[in-house]
Chain A
């Protein structure tokens, strides 16, 4: 569960998040909104890259704001970025192992965790391959493996589906839906693909100009007339 209270972030005169208060407790929560709505800022505050002016974030009763970014990662906060951050010079396996290094696992535990993470995303066969030879989807899968390996508690995915074909998005959808059952982690998902959000998120929040417009069960949020007005545009009107 993530409880966010009165979260405000501004960059100079621009208010990126405006007194956002929300409690999320479903396995997969969607975050939608038009470009510039504050979605990525929201994730950046949770990961610790942006320090909010006011507000608190508690995840499973831990105060996240008091920890540095790398400490949050060790606590179990993981994230992927809009532009994937897979390192070309490392193998697929080493790209994932880097998150396990600070966790002080025994050699055997680490191997097990690595194997199950690779199996989960279907990359086991290419574990020793250098990442520079991977295609875009395999790179995204490597990053997702990095997010789900070890014992994550909260996983933030920032537009993981951007630029993929129908079939690839289908596989991604399956993987995101399976994460909670796989390791019990809660997933926050930003995506512009409303079909993907509808398929995997039990709960969805909508941001516009830094303000929380709607929150609740995905189906009812997506049919909310206000949400349609700000986000889906006028095509359905």
Chain B
């Protein structure tokens, strides 16, 4: 028995992680987004910067999808609709109160978070296909509703919409130009990823991990399954709402036609392709979603041809990369690193 104890306690001592490397490793996404915020405005022209701003915004949406999928095993097909909710509230606040952009941003995020909590209600009893269908129905409902009430554009009344009125939503004071707004989005997204990271490493992440393993084991460990699921949906909705508010700030108005339920399905599929288990999976998903069509347009091809690429990428991911392109990439890098010192 002594031998057994010794074996158990001595086994992984050499593997203990060096703490400085660990801390640095932890903030890689933030470093990445900060570098992008500083460098990219000098490297690319105005057109591509606009495309990259959209990429940044959808990266946050993809991260909100990946969070639910990775941690709770839940499929939400309503994230673009939640962006729409966040965008609507941000626009309404901007036109009604003229408060600073950050307040509108938070209001949009909080509202979408509340809607996310309502969506969490069916999630308490369902998962898999059934929950996915419910979120898709919600997204469909939003698509119809928003086409009726439209996004606020400076008009009067509760909806704030008038056919003729075109008032643009003001951007943040420190980020009026497109370049500055791109950097601003990058910083917000860095914070969004940090928020996810803090949750995953803390109490919430442990609770979610157990719920994903099995709800019975989570309950047996004292995890309030209802609370933690609602919490997960609220966080995911908040992030999507913030992304929606950023999108509203980018275009300074929103078009109801750009929030059909099909977009929610598309961004979910691309999140799976990108890889829900790595932070940069969300970035890959957003690059596919926004950069590839723009690139095809630039080549003089129809942007819709991107759908063919998406389909192929999805088949590729489902066959060869269960953890998405990001998983494949990081496995490849690990293999290279392992081969490196021996060569």
A98 and B216 within 8 A (CB): no
Given A70-B219, A129-B15, CB of A102 within 8 Å of CB of B9? no
Give chain A's interface residues, CB within 8 Å of chain B: 47-49, 68-70, 73-74, 78-79, 81, 85, 87, 89-90, 94, 97-99, 101-103, 122-126, 128-129, 133, 138, 141, 146, 167-168, 170-171, 174
Q: List 5 contacting pairs A-B, 8 Å CB cutoff, sorted by A.
A: A70-B224, A85-B216, A101-B207, A126-B8, A129-B15
B10 and A125 within 8 A (CB): yes
- Which residues from B are CB-within-8-Å of A133? 12
Given A70-B222, A171-B4, A171-B5, CB of A126 within 8 Å of CB of B206? no
Q: How far is the CA of A222 from the CA of B65 in the complex (A)?
A: 56
Residue of A nearest to B17 (CB): A128
Summarize B's interface: helix, strand, loop or mixed.
Answer: helix
A89 and B220 within 8 A (CB): no
Q: How far is the CA of A48 from the CA of B10 in the complex (A)?
A: 38
Of the candidates A47, A98, A124, the one whose C-beta lies within 8 Å of that of B206 is: A98
- Which residues from A are CB-within-8-Å of B224? 70, 102
B17 and A79 within 8 A (CB): no
B206 and A123 within 8 A (CB): no
Given A85-B213, A138-B8, CB of A167 within 8 Å of CB of B1? yes
A123 and B8 within 8 A (CB): yes
A89 and B209 within 8 A (CB): yes
- Which residues from A are CB-within-8-Å of B217? 81, 85
- Which residues from B are CB-within-8-Å of A138? 8
In B200-228, the 8 Å CB interface with A consists of 203, 206-207, 209-210, 212-214, 216-225
Of the candidates B9, B209, B220, B225, the one whose C-beta lies within 8 Å of that of A79 is: B220
B206 and A125 within 8 A (CB): no
The yes or no answer to B16 lying at the interface (CB within 8 A) is yes
Q: How far is the CA of A129 from the CA of B11 in the complex (A)?
A: 10
Give chain B's interface residues, CB within 8 Å of chain A: 1, 4-5, 8-13, 15-17, 203, 206-207, 209-210, 212-214, 216-225
B8 and A87 within 8 A (CB): no
B220 and A122 within 8 A (CB): no
Summarize A's interface: helix, strand, loop or mixed.
Answer: helix
Most buried by A among B5, B8, B9, B225: B8
Given contacts A48-B219, A70-B223, 13 further A-B contacts (CB under 8 A): A69-B219, A73-B220, A81-B220, A85-B210, A85-B213, A85-B217, A89-B209, A98-B210, A122-B4, A126-B9, A129-B11, A138-B8, A167-B4
B221 and A73 within 8 A (CB): yes
A78 and B206 within 8 A (CB): no
Q: How far is the CA of A138 from the CA of B13 in the complex (A)?
A: 15
Q: How far is the CA of A81 from the CA of B219 in the complex (A)?
A: 12
Q: How far is the CA of A141 from the CA of B9 in the complex (A)?
A: 12
- Which residues from B are CB-within-8-Å of A126? 8-9, 11-12
- Which residues from A are CB-within-8-Å of B221? 73, 98-99, 146
In the complex, how many angstroms separate the beta carbon of A142 from the nearest chain B beta carbon? 11
In the complex, how many angstroms separate the beta carbon of B96 from the nearest chain A beta carbon? 41
Q: How far is the CA of A68 from the CA of B225 in the complex (A)?
A: 11
- Which residues from B are CB-within-8-Å of A123? 8-9
A101 and B17 within 8 A (CB): no
A171 and B216 within 8 A (CB): no
A168 and B4 within 8 A (CB): yes
Which 6 pairs of residues, A with B, have the shortest CB-CB distance? Answer: A73-B222, A85-B217, A125-B9, A69-B219, A98-B206, A122-B5
Given A125-B11, A171-B4, CB of A97 within 8 Å of CB of B216? no
A98 and B9 within 8 A (CB): no
B206 and A97 within 8 A (CB): yes
Residue of B nearest to A49 (CB): B216
Residue of A nearest to B5 (CB): A122
A125 and B222 within 8 A (CB): no
- Which residues from B are CB-within-8-Å of A141? 8
B209 and A87 within 8 A (CB): yes
Given A87-B209, A90-B206, A128-B17, CB of A103 within 8 Å of CB of B1? no
- Which residues from A are CB-within-8-Å of B210? 85, 87, 98
Q: How far is the CA of A68 from the CA of B218 in the complex (A)?
A: 12
In the complex, how many angstroms separate the beta carbon of A160 from the nearest chain B beta carbon? 14
A174 and B220 within 8 A (CB): no
In the complex, how many angstroms separate the beta carbon of A113 from the nearest chain B beta carbon? 14
Q: How far is the CA of A119 from the CA of B311 in the complex (A)?
A: 52
A73 and B219 within 8 A (CB): yes
- Which residues from B are CB-within-8-Å of A68? 219
- Which residues from A are CB-within-8-Å of B11? 125-126, 129
- Which residues from A are CB-within-8-Å of B220? 47, 69, 73, 78-79, 81, 85
